[in-house]
Amino acid sequence: MFDITGLDILKTKQTLLISNNPLIIKVFPAKEKRKYILLGMICHHFEKDKKYNESEVNEILKEIYSDYVTLRRYLIIYGFLDRTTDGSSYWLIADQSKFKDYK
C-alpha cells in the first residue's frame, strides 16, 4: 500500500507516540502513511483467529488512544480488522508478520 522505510517508522514513533511499550498515541496523524504505520502497530494487540465484540475492541483501543472510535473505523477502512454488518463481531484480517518491524 505504501513504501514504508525504517526511517518512516522511527519518525512516526518519535512524533506521534507517548509510549511504544505500552503503545500510547499522542495524536492521530492526518498523513495516510503515518496512519497506516500506527494501525500496523495496533494490529499486534489483536489475536489472530479470535472474534471480538465491539466493547472488547473498544477496551483494547481505549488503552492506546482516547478517540478509540476513530481507531476502530480506520482499522476497518484500511483492512486490518473486519466485522459483521451489524457490528456484533470483529476479527483481525491483517497479516501481523507484515508489520513485525512496526513494534
What angle, 0 to 180 degrees and rounded to 10, lies between the N-to-C axes of helices 32-42 and 6-16? 80
Domains of the chain, by residue range, sit at 6-102
What's the whole-model pTM score? Answer: 0.93
- pLDDT tens, the chain, 103 aa long: 789 999 999 999 999 999 999 999 999 999 999 999 999 999 999 999 999 999 999 999 999 999 999 999 999 999 999 999 999 999 999 999 999 988 8
CA 5-60-11 angle, 5° bins: 20
Instruction: Please give the class, per CATH, of domain 6-102.
Output: mainly alpha
